[in-house]
Amino acid sequence: MNEKKIYEGIIFDLVRKDVLINGKTYPRDIIRHPGGVGVLCVRDGKVLLVRQFRPAISEETLEIPAGKLEYGEDPMKCGLRELNEEAGMEADELKLIQILVSTPGFCDERIYIYEAVNPRTADHFLAQDEDEDVDSLWLSIEEAYEKVKSCQIKDAKTIIALQHAMLNR
C-alpha cells in the first residue's frame, strides 16, 4: 500500500502508511528502525552487564552489551563489535537466543539477542562510540535476575537474556 516518509532522523524514520483492514484503508504512522543486537555474556556463573545513561527515559540502565544495526549489517558481526566496544570482550561465535519485536504496533525494529560462545577478554580493544559513556560490571546470574524481579532492570532485551541465563544455568 501507499507509504510516505514524514520524517528522516539520525536513528529512525517516520512514515505514514495506508493499510487495508476489512476492505477499508486506514492511515498508520510507523517508525522505521534498522534494529539492534544484544549479547548475553556468561562466564563462571556471572553475567556481563553495562551501565549507561539513557536520555529517552532519563535514567541510568543496566543492560546486556548492545547496539544499533546499520541497514543491511549482519546482526552477528554487529553483536561481536558491540561486545568488544562496550565491554572489551570477544567470543568464538554468537548463538541466537531470540529475535524480539519491541513495539510491533508502530515500529518495525527487530532486536537480535545472542549468547556469546566461549567469551573472553579481547586481545584488541575497539574504542567506544564517541557519544557513549558505558561502564561494564559482572553480577552473578541470580543477583542480576533479582534486579529484574525488583524492577531495577527494565530493558526488555536484557530481561529476556537473563531469563534465558536462569533457565540454562
pLDDT, tens digit, 9 for 90 and up, residues 5-19? 999 999 999 999 999
Does 130 have pLDDT greater than 80? Answer: no
Tell me, which fold does domain 34-167 have in CATH? Nucleoside Triphosphate Pyrophosphohydrolase (3.90.79)
Separation of first and last alpha carbons in the chain? 47
Q: What is the mean pLDDT of residues 106-133?
A: 90
Average pLDDT for residues 93-120, to the nearest whole number? 97
pLDDT at residue number 50: 96
- H-helix segments, the chain: 75-87, 141-149, 156-167
The pLDDT, as a whole number, for residue 126 is: 78
Residues in the chain, overall count: 169
Q: What is the mean pLDDT of residues 86-103?
A: 96
Question: Cell 556471572 belongs to which residue?
Answer: 46
pLDDT score at 79: 97
Q: What does the mean pLDDT of the chain come to?
A: 95
Catalytic residue (one of 130, 132, 142, 143): 130
CA–CA separation, 115 vs 41, rounded Å? 6
pLDDT of 166 over the 80 cut: yes
pLDDT exceeds 90 at position 129: no
Averaged pLDDT for residues 100-119: 97
Q: Which sequence spans correspond to the domains of the chain? A: 1-32, 34-167
Higher pLDDT, 17 or 126: 17
Q: Which cell is 76 given?
A: 552477528
pTM of the model: 0.93
**pLDDT at residue 127, as a whole number:** 76
146 in catalytic set = no
- Residues 6+ away with beta carbon under 8 Å from 148: 158, 159, 162, 163
Q: Which pairs count as long-range contacts for 146-153, CB under 8 Å and 24+ apart, including other chains?
A: 147/62, 152/62, 153/61, 153/62, 153/63
Q: Evaluate if residue 133 carries a pLDDT over 90.
A: no
| pLDDT tens figures, 30-78 | 999 999 999 999 999 999 999 999 999 999 999 999 999 999 999 999 9
